[in-house]
Chains A and B, each alone.
Chain A
Amino acid sequence: MSDLAPRTRTAFPPPLLIGAALAVVGLVLLVFGATTPQLVTPAKAAVALLGLGLLLAGASRLGKVWAGPGFDVVFWFGAAWLLLLGLAILCAPWLPLAEDRDVASTVAEPVFATPTFTGGHPLGTNAFGLDLLARSLYGARSSLLISLSAVALGTVVGGAIGMVAGYFQKSVDRVVGIATNSLLAVPPLILLIALATVLQPHLRNVAFSLALLTIPGMVRLARATTMAYANREFVVAARAMGAGRTRILLRELLPNVLLPVLSLAVVMISVLVVAEASLSFLGLGIQPPEPTWGNMIAEGEGRVFEEHPHIVLVPGAFLFLTVFAFNVVGEKARGRWDSRSVKL
């Protein structure tokens, strides 16, 4: 009988200790990798990545001791990054940041300064002596402003169209279906580039183009969800009690469609952040000197990047972490609220 007892690992050394040790070692490696001038860049990046991995593993163990086995360290990491970035963006004007766009005022500053935590430019400077931390934060500002407003616009418009199509069906649905299919006939980035040909590349136009990308997906999801609920008993009951179409759409269907649509919206944010960055990287989005992550990375093109990798790595890290964080949060939201994605 004794051999049937569940195999439990003896807890030695205690997980708390391992977790703390891993986290500390990871943090040390991460800081060392990010700041030491003695290594070539790929080696630095490798050390920093290893440190990050160890830090996450350690934090995961600590979190599990703290909050139980359901603790998802990656989710909290992503959420913390978004929170930190959001705060930094909001407070950017009051932070002691160096110059981010006025080339005239940085004549005396070092160019291509490498990141160090000791100097006045923690993340280094670019070819004009502009501070990369300041540029990355202001870049985050335009990137997130564009993506969030585009998602908001696309969600409202696409969601509304999808609900109407799903509720009225028949010819309305057919027209909407052909329209969305036509919009989908052009691959997303190509559509963006085509619009960039004719639209001035300022914030509002870029946001509008990106919103156009989110609409087809939103329409499809809202339509499918609405159709799934449209014949349920509570809708039929509401109709039997004399509720009008608007009332049924807003009071009965909207609450059910809202959560899946919003979870898709969170996932879409990361897609749009990437799309916006790609567009600026191609030189078709927001133009320098106004910083965005995409046009900052584009500064590294040619030989510059090979000699000064941090020009690309700094905005690249911001871009990656933000996209990663939105992906993690979006995935969690979808897993919880969008039953259709359960199978994937």
Chain B
Amino acid sequence: MTPKREAATTAPAPTDGTRGTAAPPLLDATDVRTAFHTPRGAVRAVDGVSLTLSEGETLGIVGESGSGKSVLGRTLMGLITDGPGTTVSGTVRIGGKDVHALTPAGRRALWGTEVAMVFQDPMTSLNPVKKTGTHLSESLRLHLGLGRADARDRAVDLLRQVGIPEPARRAGQYPHELSGGMRQRVVIAMALACGPRLLIADEPTTALDVTVQKQILDLLRSLAEELRMATILISHDLATVAGRTDRVAVMYAGRLVEYADTAAVFDRPRHPYSSALIASIPRLDLPPHTLLPAIEGRPPNLLHPPAGCRFAPRCDTATDRCTTESPGLTAYAGERDAGGLVACHHPLGAAEEAAV
């Protein structure tokens, strides 16, 4: 594993391309692969993903459940790392540090201060026997070395910052005394506590009521802007990501199939899968009782993924080439300067543009 990692660090990141700036990116992931070893074989949950993210930038990672997006998030952070039963290869650099080459203690020093995570279910991601304030103050004391009283004051400030009314009283309460939306605000405050430069939000609204979802997403957005924090928003729902992120990475069966500016993806999706995802979002301008198009078939078994393009078995435009040869993530020929990348032998719109 090690030789490969060293080799990868010297190779230029393939996505730097047109967006490359002089300063090194905050997050630089190259050819990340995560496999879990089960009695029935290796499950390749993430299979060769490369991403970069600059300071203050927001990225959405979108895919069906089981596409590997949560595993990717945890691998980027280093929560999942090489060990018994798990193989991680490739490089992840956060602020220049190779997350998977660090010692466990080195990684822990990174967590909370450089990178933090907001988890999916606020019902289960808060310890039921710890007071709300303790959840926040313990990492303040650990990372920032604050005293008990200072940490408590800061915790109350944080609760206020994430929009919790009566923060001083709430800090003394247990998680079960708060509503779901409140709890997710606490989880966000927990992630923000030590001022991370990168926030990974893993399906932060999936477990919440629809009415609360938008509030939480808007809160995340405004906090990211206010604190100049780079954000990765992981979601199974393209609509969540629309208008809240700068770029979008569409993930399918452990691989990125499209990686481009959010507006561009929504405007003119290049990958048949992205296009199908967008088509399945309900829209108000459609007449009532319109049947939404669904994507036929099921995602592939990651124990034995199909050869070639993994979407081919479900794709309308698949040809023989798609089932044998795996398409690489490449800049789309027609609009090289837009920075959009797609992994498809027959990207949508290619024929008409060739005709023009």
Which residues of A pack against B, CB within 8 Å?
3-7, 69
Task: Decide if B336 is an interface residue (CB 8 Å cutoff).
Answer: no
Complexed CA–CA distance, A331 and B42 (Å): 32
Do B4 and A3 touch across chains, with their CB atoms under 8 A apart?
A: yes
B284 to chain A, nearest CB (A): 42
- Output the nearest chain A residue to B43 by Cβ-Cβ distance: A6
Which B24-74 residues sit within 8 Å CB-CB of chain A? 33, 35, 37, 39, 41-42, 44
Nearest CB of chain A from residue B255's CB, rounded to whole Å: 13
DSSP class of B's interface residues: helix, strand, loop or mixed? strand
How near does chain B come to A68, taking the closest CB pair, in angstroms?
12
Q: List 16 A-B pairs, Cβ < 8 Å.
A: A3-B1, A3-B4, A3-B87, A3-B89, A4-B33, A4-B35, A4-B42, A4-B44, A4-B87, A4-B89, A5-B42, A6-B37, A6-B41, A6-B42, A7-B37, A69-B39
- Report the separation of the CA atoms of residues A7 and B87 in the bound assembly, to the nearest whole angstrom: 10
In the complex, which residues of chain A have a beta carbon less than 8 angstroms from the beta carbon of B42?
Answer: 4-6
Please name all residues of chain A whose beta carbon is closer than 8 Å to the beta carbon of B87 when the two chains form the complex. Answer: 3-4
A3 to B47, CA, bound (A): 12
Taken together as a complex, chains A and B put the C-alpha atoms of A12 and B41 apart, in Å, by 21
Min CB distance A6 to B, Å, is: 5
- Note all chain B residues with C-beta closer than 8 A to A7: 37
Contacts of B4 in A (CB 8 A): 3
Cα A4 to Cα B1 with chains together (Å): 9
| Complex interface: chain A residues within 8 A of B37 (CB) | 6-7
CA distance A133 to B44 in the complex (A): 60
**How many residues belonging to B are interface residues under a CB distance threshold of 8 Å?**
11
Central interface residue in A3, A5, A6, A7, by most chain B CB within 10 Å: A6
Q: List 5 tightest A-B contacts by C-beta distance, closest first.
A: A6-B42, A4-B35, A6-B37, A3-B1, A4-B87
Give the CA-CA distance A5 to B89 in the complex, in Å.
12
* CB nearest neighbor in A for B39: A69
Q: How far is A119 from B33 in the complex, measured between Cα atoms in Å?
A: 68
Give min CB distance, A69 to chain B, whole Å. 8
Identify the closest chain B residue to A69 (Cβ).
Answer: B39
Nearest residue, chain A, Cβ from B87: A4
Q: Which of B130-166 contact A (CB under 8 A)?
A: none
| A-side contacts of B41, CB under 8 Å | 6
Having A3-B1, A6-B42, one finds 14 other A-B pairs with CB under 8 Å, namely A3-B4, A3-B87, A3-B89, A4-B33, A4-B35, A4-B42, A4-B44, A4-B87, A4-B89, A5-B42, A6-B37, A6-B41, A7-B37, A69-B39
**Least CB separation from A1: chain B residue:** B33
* B44 / chain A contacts, CB cutoff of 8 Å: 4
CA distance A152 to B89 in the complex (A): 60
Residues in chain A near residue B89, CB distance under 8 A: 3-4
CA of A188 to CA of B342 in the docked complex: distance in angstroms?
Answer: 72
Which chain B residues lie closer than 8 Å to A3 at the CB level? 1, 4, 87, 89
Chain B residue, CB-CB nearest to A7: B37
The chain A residue with its CB closest to the CB of B48 is: A1
Q: How far is the CA of A3 from the CA of B33 in the complex (A)?
A: 10
A69 to B40, CA, bound (A): 13
A-chain residues with CB within 8 Å of residue B1 when the two chains form the complex: 3
B282 to chain A, nearest CB (A): 36
Contact flags B1-21 to A (C-beta < 8 A → 1, else 0): 100100000000000000000
A6 vs B89: C-alpha distance when bound (angstroms): 14
**Complex Cα gap A300–B143 (Å):** 63
Q: How far is the CA of A3 from the CA of B44 in the complex (A)?
A: 12
CB distance from B35 to the nearest CB of A (A): 5
B40: nearest residue on chain A (CB-CB)? A6
A7 to B4, CA, bound (A): 18
- Whole-angstrom CA separation of A4 from B34 in the bound complex: 8
By beta carbon, the residue of chain A nearest B33 is A4
Considering the complex, give the chain A residue whose CB is closest to the CB of B36. Answer: A6
**Chain A residue with the shortest CB-CB distance to B47:** A4
Which A residue sits closest to B38, measured CB to CB? A6
Bound-complex Cα distance A6 to B41 (A): 6
Closest to B84 in A: A7
A4 — which chain B residues lie within 8 A by C-beta? Answer: 33, 35, 42, 44, 87, 89
Contacts of A5 in B (CB 8 A): 42
- Give A85 to B1 CA distance when docked, in angstroms: 55
Q: Tell me the bound Cα distance from A6 to B38 in angstroms.
A: 8
User: Which of B1, B4, B44, B87 has the most chain A CB within a 10 Å cutoff?
Assistant: B87
Distance of A3 from chain B, by nearest CB (Å): 6
User: Closest approach, in angstroms, between the C-beta of A4 and any C-beta of chain B?
Assistant: 5
Tell me the complex Cα distance, A32–B284, Å: 85
Interface-central residue, A3, A4, A5, A7, by most chain B CB under 10 Å = A4
CA–CA, A113 to B39, complex, Å?
A: 53
Smallest CB separation, A84 vs chain B (Å): 34
Nearest chain A CB to B40's CB is how many angstroms away? 9
Nearest-neighbour CB distance to chain B for A77, whole angstroms, equals 24
**B50 smallest CB distance to A (angstroms):** 16
B-chain residues with CB within 8 Å of residue A6 when the two chains form the complex: 37, 41-42
State how many angstroms separate the Cβ of B44 from the closest Cβ of chain A.
7
The smallest beta-carbon distance between A250 and chain B, in angstroms, is: 43
- B4 CB → nearest A CB, Å: 7
